[in-house]
Amino acid sequence: MFSATVSAPTNIACVKYWGKKSVALNTPINSSVSVTLDQNDLKAVTTVCVSKSFKKDRLWLNGTEEDVTKSKRFMACISGVKRLATTKVSTEGEVLVDKSEWKHFGVHVSSMNTFPTAAGLASSAAGYAALVAGLAEVFGAKETYPGELSTIARQGSGSACRSLYGGFVAWRMGKDHDTGEDSLAQQVCDENHWPELRALILVVSDEKKDTSSTEGMSTSVNTSKLLGYRASTVVDERMRSIEKAYTERDFETFGKITMQDSNQFHATCLDTYPPIFYMNDVSKSVIKIVHAYNRWKGKVAAAYTFDAGPNAVIYHLEDVADELLALMLQYFPDDKFLGSLFGSSFVNNPQAWDRA
């Protein structure tokens, strides 16, 4: 038996992915870009064990076994990484497992999230990134082109491809609609680029959402004309502007686009039929308070974004961190706050994946 334990952080998108071009390949209708949060805060910790005596592939999530026998996503990650496996050799140079043998190994996975699962804080991103990283570690997988492992994580959960890199990470939608080979993550700026950037996370609810991201975006693609307009006309320009803003550490532009894109994403949810409500009244009051705060500061000093759930992520710079936290605690004394630093995060080097 061989095993590895790794961890991967979550990421929170500034320009959102919402809608699949191909369900089979899990490719998106638009590119997206996100900030990878720090490993110390919100992460999935995953142990992958492989053995010839394991008769089937199994997953335990937060201590409870999930039935993955019919999960195409979970199986796609295992088969995808197995294809890149290499021969395992001991430190003395003895062949332990020839690469042709790995296909006979079953896989058991145990994963824990350090933050609420399925509550709109991208647990699927951290979870599938950690799964692919753990599998890559055990099987000694080697990419044949940069970003190949991210194409495998993408098949687990779209947002997961971006969690394989630290810093500011784009998911390029790609042009090859037959294979999805070029629908991959690309680091725009590394985790050291903007050390003053912070995320304040307001856990409004840690309950499992009633509409999963997968199900929600499928209904949106089928019913929302606004979503089609967004993908064809709005996103590309936003991607260009926000990548430039992040590169130049221009918080005003970065923050404004982040808020506008979150609002447009939630507008497409409302335009979906029947409508989907991910934000609740507390989420909406966070939006109001952030705009009031920015008015008072005379600039964009804080920028909210909400994924498919009610929980708020507020990007800001270090110099306003205490003030912003004090403001939020005053309004929401009962909610849980998780401050997150962007320090060393997940890095683009399989050998440097964090062994938990």
127 or 167: whose CB is closer to ligand ADP? 127
Q: Is 29 in the site for ligand DP6 (CB under 6 A)?
A: no
> In angstroms, how far is the first alpha carbon of the chain from the final one?
19
Task: Please identify, among the stretches 15-23, 32-40, 112-120, 137-145, the one whose residues bind ligand ADP according to the rule CB under 6 A.
Answer: 112-120
What is the C-alpha separation between 279 and 258, in angstroms, rounded?
Answer: 16
Pairing of strands 106-113, 58-61: parallel
3-state SS, one letter per residue, for 260-309: HHHHHHHHHHHHCCCCCCCCCHHHHHHHHHHHHHHHHHCCCCEEEEECCC
| Window 66 to 105, contacts with ligand ADP (CB under 6 A) | none
CB of 287 to ligand ADP, least distance (A): 19
From the list ligand ADP, Co ion, ligand DP6, none, pick the one residue 26 interacts with, judged by a Cβ distance below 5 to 8 Å according to partner type: ligand DP6
Q: What does the block give as tokens for 169?
A: 């990470």
For ligand ADP, which stretch binds (CB under 6 A), given 114-122, 244-252, 272-280, 319-327?
114-122
Asked if 32 interacts with ligand DP6 (CB under 6 A), we say yes
- 46 secondary structure, DSSP code: E
Q: Residues 6 or more apart from 102 whose CB is under 8 A from it?
A: 50, 82, 85, 139
The Cα–Cα gap between 341 and 9 comes to 12
Query: DSSP letters of 305-334?
Result: EE-SSS-EEEEEEGGGHHHHHHHHHHH-TT
Per CB under 6 A, contacts with ligand DP6 among 301-340 are 307-308
Per-residue interface string for the shown chain with ligand ADP, residues 3-42, x marking contact by CB under 6 A = ----------------------------------------
Query: What's the min distance (Å) between Cβ of 330 and Co ion?
Result: 31
Q: Are strands 197-203 and 312-317 parallel, antiparallel or unpaired?
A: antiparallel
283 binds Co ion per the rule CB under 5 A: no
Which string of x and - marks every residue 187-226 that binds ligand DP6 (by CB under 6 A)?
--------------------------xx------------
Q: Which residues bind ligand DP6 (CB under 6 A)?
A: 13, 16-18, 26, 32, 122, 124, 157-159, 213-214, 307-308
Q: Give the residues lining the site for ligand ADP (CB under 6 A).
A: 44, 61, 111, 113, 117-125, 127, 131, 157, 212-213, 307-309
